[in-house]
Amino acid sequence: MPTKLASIEEYRKLVDSYDTFLFDCDGVIWLGSELIPGVKEVISFLKSSNKNLLYVTNNSTVSRKDYVKKFEKLGLTVTENEIYGSAYATAIYLQKIVKFKAEKEVFIVGGAGIKKELELVGIKVSDKVIPPMSGTEDIKKILPDSKIGAIVCGLDLNMSYGKMAFAHINLMTNEDCLFIATNDDSSFPVENQIFPGAGSILSVLVTSTKKKPAVIGKPYQTMFDSICASHEIDLRRTLMVGDRLDTDIDFGIAAGIDTLVVYTGVTTEEEACNPKNSQATFSMGSFGELSALID
Amino acid sequence: MPTKLASIEEYRKLVDSYDTFLFDCDGVIWLGSELIPGVKEVISFLKSSNKNLLYVTNNSTVSRKDYVKKFEKLGLTVTENEIYGSAYATAIYLQKIVKFKAEKEVFIVGGAGIKKELELVGIKVSDKVIPPMSGTEDIKKILPDSKIGAIVCGLDLNMSYGKMAFAHINLMTNEDCLFIATNDDSSFPVENQIFPGAGSILSVLVTSTKKKPAVIGKPYQTMFDSICASHEIDLRRTLMVGDRLDTDIDFGIAAGIDTLVVYTGVTTEEEACNPKNSQATFSMGSFGELSALID
């Protein structure tokens, strides 16, 4: 069961114990389009205490630049360096971890955020456009392209059969073609509703190719490896803060760092205390409660 | 191991033993766009011997009317009644088996063949059109519709995130909304290549909703129940002829009828004789070999 933090002494000890705080955003910092009370003040306080703050999100539809705007809209000041989206983590993975060949191109089944982040680190993105299919005859025109060195799949609001078929045929034809997913969240929350997420889109290719992708985003270790490839991280003094056990808390556990679950998002206290579920190190009603530390 | 038929006596006994022949088409009757040698003559011979012939296909992209044209193009004469596609079987399932309510509508993630077949048996098809998504803001506009009584998913060459999201939200919001798949073949063969099939498209909704659809097509019993709902079938005198163990032969086995595997499609003799795989009753190099029976 996570140790429940509720007194000012416990809050102070938590802040003193860590230099780096990794945050999930939705359900911790904001909920939908509303800031969670007190969190803005706590973030200012942690920054003025020289803490390193990193926002770790599986959302690959937007780039870090777009994410900075989202923070600004809510009245929070962050820099691009503090944001770690799965699109950027995928770029870092390709650049620093697998050392993607300069002469190869990536074909993306996903949003504009992925293209932006890949191009920013100098990775070539295929400009292949597959026209809409008018019948099965059109499928024959979809041929593999030896330039394609990786398929990157994320949440794609413009998914199409043609894109899927082109990704599929490259994965099946070219044994060296990498298969990468920004994340595999089956759902994508929008306001109070749940819609199909990147993991649901991805399942088309997993089913058709019978191949398993390298998944970058939380809860996978790859996201953390990617963070460590571009930031100095002391594992013992790093805390992961999140609202979901199966992504955020599992991510911290896989990385070997302490975790804090908050109840301002999807997980209830009952679920967090259920021994069958992943166990966070600490729990707290809301991260905003730390505002009690501010004079 | 299937009993291998190779002599004229064995061929004659096979023909005499059955009144109804159920055929898979691709890999049995034709391969891609080429007729398999001898098959045309054998079909004429069986018809002149007063046998009932039914062509059972999982392809839902075309209607029976379109299928008749395909047969004609290859020089084969068939009637619509002899063709049993998964789109038509889905229509029969909705009409005769689940008795779909007249005031409800079906939302289709699939090809024009499904719409045609459903409307021909008097089932209302939703004309809902979801405009292309320009960003996550557009997802909010996707709302459930209480008129939708079933989601039917097949191979959809015009699949889109909007369609998937609309199907998803209806399945999640309305507990009575039926979830039906024309078939769950993960692959769709086009000429010599394999592309994502209906089962791969379907996996988006299976992953996002965590619900299991009623699958109509081979190898599922539903297709056979649907055939029996519109044809007189004597199980003991019915033979399923196919080239695939995991769809055609399993379909015959599930239905409790005898099966014949032919080696003009995807299955090799080695695979058919492997005791780990589904076991057909009989095997034959090609269905065209029966032409030896013709004077």
Query: Domain spanning A99-215: which superfamily?
Result: HAD superfamily/HAD-like (3.40.50.1000)
Q: Tell me the nearest-neighbour CA distance from B19 into chain A, angstroms.
A: 34
Active site (catalytic) residues of B = 24, 26
Residues 36-75 of A with CB under 8 A from B: 61
Is B279's pLDDT higher than 80? yes
pLDDT class of B107 with cuts at 50, 70, 90: very high
Contacts of A156 in chain B (CB under 8 A): 161
Is B192's pLDDT higher than 80? no
Measure the CA–CA gap between B83 and B78, rounded to whole angstroms.
Answer: 8
Whether residue A157 and residue B208 make contact (CB cut-off 8 A), yes or no, is: no
DSSP letter for B163, please: H
DSSP letter for B7, please: S
Is A61's pLDDT higher than 90? no
Q: What pLDDT sits at residue B155?
A: 96
For chain B, say whether A186 makes contact (Cβ under 8 Å). Answer: yes
Is B124's pLDDT higher than 80? yes
Q: Do domains A3-58+219-293 and A99-215 have the same CATH topology?
A: yes
Domain A3-58+219-293 annotated CATH 3.40.50.1000:
yes
List, for residues B144-155, the tens digit of each pLDDT value.
Answer: 999 999 999 999
Q: Which residue of B has its CA nearest to A162?
A: B157
Whether residue A196 and residue B160 make contact (CB cut-off 8 A), yes or no, is: no
Q: Tell me the nearest-neighbour CA distance from A290 into chain B, angstroms.
A: 32
For chain B, say whether A156 makes contact (Cβ under 8 Å). Answer: yes
For chain B, say whether A32 makes contact (Cβ under 8 Å). Answer: no
Q: In chain B, pLDDT over 90 holds for what percent of residues?
A: 88
Q: β-strand B20-23 against A258-262: which pairing, if any?
A: unpaired
Measure the CA–CA gap between B167 and B109, rounded to whole angstroms.
Answer: 8
For chain B, say whether A33 makes contact (Cβ under 8 Å). Answer: no
DSSP letter for B24, please: -
Domain ranges in chain B are 3-58+219-293, 96-215
CATH code reported for the domain at B96-215: 3.40.50.1000
Q: Facing residues of B148 across strands? A: B105
Measure the CA–CA gap between B207 and B10, rounded to whole angstroms.
Answer: 48
Measure the CA–CA gap between A51 and A129, rounded to whole angstroms.
Answer: 45
Length of chain A in terms of residues written = 295
Whether residue A201 and residue B204 make contact (CB cut-off 8 A), yes or no, is: yes
Whether residue A243 is annotated as binding a ligand: the answer is yes
Find out whether A97 and A116 touch, Cβ atoms under 8 Å.
Answer: no
Q: What pLDDT sits at residue B215?
A: 97
Whether residue B169 and residue A195 make contact (CB cut-off 8 A), yes or no, is: yes
- Closest residue to B197, CB basis, from A186, A194, A208: A208
**In degrees to the nearest 10, what's the CA dihedral of A171, A154, B175, B199?**
-10
φ, ψ dihedrals at B231, nearest 5°: -140, 150
DSSP letter for B132, please: P
Q: Give the mean model confidence (pLDDT) for residues A215-225.
A: 94
Supply the ipTM of this predicted assembly. 0.91
Q: What pLDDT sits at residue A63?
A: 83
CA distances from B161 to A130, B157, B167, B200 (A): 16, 13, 10, 14
For chain A, say whether B208 makes contact (Cβ under 8 Å). Answer: yes
Find out whether A200 and B212 touch, Cβ atoms under 8 Å.
Answer: no
